[in-house]
């Protein structure tokens, strides 16, 4: 597959390409051009030119294009989902829902952009009034991770395009294929060529060009906290606007009055969906001591029913880990925790069956008696392993939950609304779900506290991050005072 610049499929300036492999089989799915700085520059120029056209389009037209894009993407869901499963590894059902969520985000912002309102407000001193308007920023560099390559592209391009911006997208090197296809469908829906470009290539090269170019107004980044710090440094040179959606280590707190059946289901889904590779997934489980035994017994039974396999097979619940390096990181964290005394409540690892041996599979792991200083408790574990901690009460749970550098998601499970609200107010995280595993919704702002990043995606707030605020101050005729020195 080629890159997508100025509405066309193109090769890189250099002839080099790199392979995209299937994490379930190790087989090559396709190859893409290894783009460099020159390619990124071309895409930035294409996006700058398209900005002049797109930002002038009436809102109704931008809205129509987004609605059409959603319709086309939905009509291609099977093909797109299959490509996504092949390159990313997730089960086909999850891939379908990711494609549909892209369409959903487009529809949400197509509706929202038509409801933008401004206001004219008198000066407090009475000699005139001011108007606050919103302008698109210009060209946005969207740098994407591999865990939800399509929906996270939607979180950026849908509000950004609705607001009148244009884009250069840099997908993760291991998941470029579906993003390229979706970008081409946006142009098919009526987006001017050049308004969304996709440049494939190394983060340190294509990404650096995006960070350094003065033609890029904003970087919308999703990825690891460590990479986010580099992006922040790189953007400082030209004071770019930034949205950073970074890592997380979400706590899930189960109180003793929770619906345990629901909580067991929620914990299993919340941790092992996408093979545990979600920014907001259950990464630390806190159980009240008086329900811990019952919960653990039921949870262990539940986790043992999760079927690991190739995402293309209907019977698969959980696909492979995306890369072998990522699998090694999970294995290292589990071993380190065991070295500190953790017990394997569910022993996971590389599955013994021959047919899965070529992929990066790792069956679910559940650990008990985990030291709070273990890596798996202190860092982000981006894979199918879950540490369980037992706490006396809600106060201890909240204190432990907040003892992390991260602050992305969290959940509290209780039938008591006061408890739920108290916990939600005190947990330092961008979102607290009550009696629900983490599920992002187009209308709800999403983002992090602390080192999980800043800025918000989705919701009305997500749209605001694609505007510059402009104030116009008007002095009413005859009401102004005279300006003369000296000033008294």
Taking the CA atoms of residue 44, residue 50, residue 56 and residue 61 in that order, the dihedral angle to the nearest 10 degrees is -120
Interface stretch with ligand NAD, choices 36-44, 245-253, 345-353, 465-473 (CB under 6 A): 245-253
Interface stretch with ligand NAD, choices 21-29, 83-91, 126-134, 204-212 (CB under 6 A): 204-212
Question: Which of 136, 194, 223, 364 forms a contact with ligand NAD (CB under 6 A)?
Answer: 223
Burial of 486 (0-12, 13-18, 19+ CB in 10 A): exposed
Assess 246 for contact with ligand NAD (CB under 6 A).
yes
Nearer to ligand NAD, 76 or 224 (CB): 224
H or E segment and range at residue 108: helix 92-113
Distance CA(59)–CA(49), nearest Å, equals 19
How many residues sit close enough to ligand NAD to count as binding (CB under 6 A)?
31
Interface stretch with ligand NAD, choices 223-231, 346-354, 357-365, 366-374 (CB under 6 A): 223-231
Distance CA(363)–CA(342), nearest Å, equals 18
Question: Which of 21, 147, 197, 365 forms a contact with ligand NAD (CB under 6 A)?
Answer: 147
Assess 445 for contact with ligand NAD (CB under 6 A).
no
State the minimum distance, in angstroms, from the CB of residue 253 to ligand NAD. 20
Assess 45 for contact with ligand NAD (CB under 6 A).
no
Site mask for ligand NAD (CB under 6 A), range 172-191, x = bound: xx------------------
Assess 368 for contact with ligand NAD (CB under 6 A).
no
Interface stretch with ligand NAD, choices 201-209, 253-261, 313-321, 415-423 (CB under 6 A): 201-209
Long-range contacts of 30-33 (CB under 8 A, 24+ apart): 30/1, 30/87, 30/177, 31/1, 32/1, 32/2, 32/3, 32/176, 32/177, 32/180, 32/200, 33/2, 33/3, 33/200, 33/201
Nearer to ligand NAD, 208 or 336 (CB): 208
Strand partners, 474: 129
Residues 117-146 within binding reach of ligand NAD (CB under 6 A): 143-146
Assess 230 for contact with ligand NAD (CB under 6 A).
yes
Strand partners, 245: 222, 453
Distance CA(385)–CA(383), nearest Å, equals 6
Assess 382 for contact with ligand NAD (CB under 6 A).
yes
Give me the active site residues, please.
245, 279
**Contacts (Cβ under 8 Å, ≥6 apart) of 135:** 164, 467, 468, 470
**Contacts (Cβ under 8 Å, ≥6 apart) of 4:** 10, 180, 183, 184, 196, 197, 198
Check residue 61 and report its DSSP letter: H
Assess 207 for contact with ligand NAD (CB under 6 A).
yes
**Backbone phi, then psi, for 80, in 5-degree steps?**
-65, -40
Nearer to ligand NAD, 63 or 431 (CB): 431
Q: In what order do the strands lie in the sheet with 128-136?
A: 120-122, 128-136, 467-475
Phi-psi bin for 406: left (phi > 0), alpha (psi -120 to 50), beta?
A: beta
Residues 390-409 within binding reach of ligand NAD (CB under 6 A): 408
Structure token pair of residue 280: 């907001």
Nearer to ligand NAD, 247 or 368 (CB): 247
Interface stretch with ligand NAD, choices 169-177, 335-343, 363-371, 410-418 (CB under 6 A): 169-177
Tell me which residues touch ligand NAD (CB under 6 A).
143-148, 152, 170, 172-173, 203-204, 207-208, 222-224, 227, 230-231, 245-248, 279, 380, 382, 408, 448, 452-453
């Amino acid at each position: 597959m080629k890159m997508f610049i100025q509405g066309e499929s193109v090769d890189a300036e250099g002839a080099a390409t790199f392979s995209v492999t299937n994490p379930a089989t190790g087989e090559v799915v396709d190859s893409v051009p290894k783009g460099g700085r020159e390619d990124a520059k071309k895409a930035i120029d294409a996006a700058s030119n398209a900005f002049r056209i797109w930002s002038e389009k009436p809102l109704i037209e931008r809205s129509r294009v987004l609605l059409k894009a959603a319709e086309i993407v939905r009509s291609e869901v099977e093909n797109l989902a299959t490509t996504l499963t092949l390159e990313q590894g997730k089960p086909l059902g999850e891939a379908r829902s990711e494609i549909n969520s892209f369409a959903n985000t487009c529809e949400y912002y197509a509706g929202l952009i038509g409801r933008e309102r401004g206001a004219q407000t008198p000066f407090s001193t009475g000699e005139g009034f001011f108007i606050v308007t919103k302008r698109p920023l210009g060209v946005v560099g969207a740098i994407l991770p591999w865990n939800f390559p399509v929906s996270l592209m939607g979180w950026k391009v849908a509000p950004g395009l609705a607001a009148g911006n244009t884009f250069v997208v840099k997908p993760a090197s291991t998941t470029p294929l579906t993003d390229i296809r979706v970008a081409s469908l946006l142009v098919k829906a009526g987006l001017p060529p050049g308004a969304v470009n996709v440049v494939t290539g190394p983060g340190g090269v294509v990404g650096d060009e995006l960070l350094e170019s003065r033609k890029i107004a904003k970087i919308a980044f999703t990825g690891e906290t460590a990479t986010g710090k580099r992006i922040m440094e790189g953007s400082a040179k030209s004071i770019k606007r930034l949205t950073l959606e970074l890592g997380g280590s979400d706590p899930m707190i189960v109180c003793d009055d929770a619906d345990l059946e629901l909580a067991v289901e929620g914990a299993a889904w919340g941790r092992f969906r996408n093979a545990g590779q979600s920014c907001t997934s259950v990464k630390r489980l806190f159980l009240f001591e008086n329900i811990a035994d019952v919960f653990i017994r039921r949870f262990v039974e539940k986790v043992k029913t999760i079927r690991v396999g190739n995402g293309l097979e209907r019977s698969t619940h959980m696909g492979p880990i995306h890369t072998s390096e990522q699998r090694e990181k999970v294995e290292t964290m589990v071993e380190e925790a065991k070295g500190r005394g953790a017990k394997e409540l569910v022993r996971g690892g590389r599955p013994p069956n021959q047919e899965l041996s070529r992929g990066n599979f790792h069956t679910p792991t559940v650990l008990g008696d985990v030291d709070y200083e273990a890596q798996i408790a202190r860092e982000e574990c981006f894979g199918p392993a879950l540490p369980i901690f037992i706490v006396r009460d809600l106060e201890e749970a909240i204190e432990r939950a907040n003892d992390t550098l991260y602050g992305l998601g969290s959940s509290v499970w209780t039938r008591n609304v006061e408890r739920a609200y108290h916990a939600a107010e005190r947990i330092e995280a961008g979102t607290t779900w009550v009696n629900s595993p983490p599920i992002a919704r187009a209308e709800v702002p999403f983002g992090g506290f602390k080192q999980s990043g800043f800025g918000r995606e989705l919701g009305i707030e997500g749209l605001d991050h694609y505007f510059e605020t402009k104030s116009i101050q008007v002095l009413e005729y005859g009401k102004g005072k005279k300006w003369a020195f000296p000033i008294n």
